[in-house]
Amino acid sequence: MEDFDVSVNGEWISETTGALLVRRTIPGLPEARENKVEIAERDGELDFGSTYGARPVGLGFFVVGDYDTTVSLLMRKFNIRRGVLDIVFSDRPRKHYFAQYRGTMSWDESTGNRVIDIPLKMYDSFPESDEKITELTITQSPQVISIESVGDERASPVIVLTNTGTTTLNGFTIKNEYKVE
């Protein structure tokens, strides 16, 4: 079994606190919320579809260092006053989970209080990938470019057209030739 660690705002917990990440809980999908409305004197409800709610994230740390010092360092690391935390797991190095401390830090009585559970909540329900921007100048048309996304969500491309010459362009055509699979 390989080491399992978590980084908070760029600092690995195992290197800075004296605690080891022993478990994490991240639901496969956040809870779905129904968007509906009831209208007076009308039977039933009007359905406006569903959206995702916030996603809870749970972290469990085993205290290997001095107990009081380690707990104090963990409390500072996850303090609500730090705002949104950038969480990265060692086995998912390119995924950033932006979460805040929510709930109450608890101790696992069965381990003699050596495992501390920390509840977090992601209000933007999905992790983000490392940003990789590649600028490309198209000098010849048509040109075929393959782009592989490492993100979890489909995103629309941003196309910027800039006229670098002195001649005014009166018309041009942009054609979407992407295949939807």
Q: How far apart are CA 68 and CA 116, in angstroms?
A: 12
Does the residue 138 lie in any domain?
Answer: no
Does the residue 176 lie in any domain?
Answer: no
Does the residue 179 lie in any domain?
Answer: no
What pLDDT does residue 158 have? 63
Nearest to 12 by CA among 25, 24, 22, 21: 21
Burial label, 2 (beta-carbon count in 10 A; 0-12, 13-18, 19+): exposed
Does the residue 175 lie in any domain?
Answer: no
Single pTM value for the model: 0.66
Q: Considering its fold, how many domains does the chain have in total?
A: 1
What pLDDT does residue 60 have? 93
SS3 163: coil
Residues written for the chain: 181
CATH code of the domain containing 96:
2.40.30.200
What pLDDT does residue 135 have? 55
SS3 52: strand
Does the residue 171 lie in any domain?
Answer: no
Burial label, 132 (beta-carbon count in 10 A; 0-12, 13-18, 19+): exposed
Does the residue 111 lie in any domain?
Answer: yes
Cβ neighbours for 181, distance < 8 A, ≥ 6 positions apart:
none
What pLDDT does residue 21 have? 93
What pLDDT does residue 153 have? 56
Nearest to 125 by CA among 97, 105, 102: 97
SS3 30: coil
What pLDDT does residue 62 have? 92
For the chain, which ranges sit under pLDDT 50? 1
Does the residue 173 lie in any domain?
Answer: no
Look up the domain containing 60 and give its range: 6-129
Q: Are 55 and 120 in contact (CB under 8 A)?
A: no
pLDDT digits (tens, 9 = 90+) for 29-59: 999 999 999 989 889 889 899 999 999 999 9
Q: How far apart are CA 14 and CA 3, in angstroms?
A: 10
Looking at the DSSP bridge assignments, the partners of residue 98 are 86
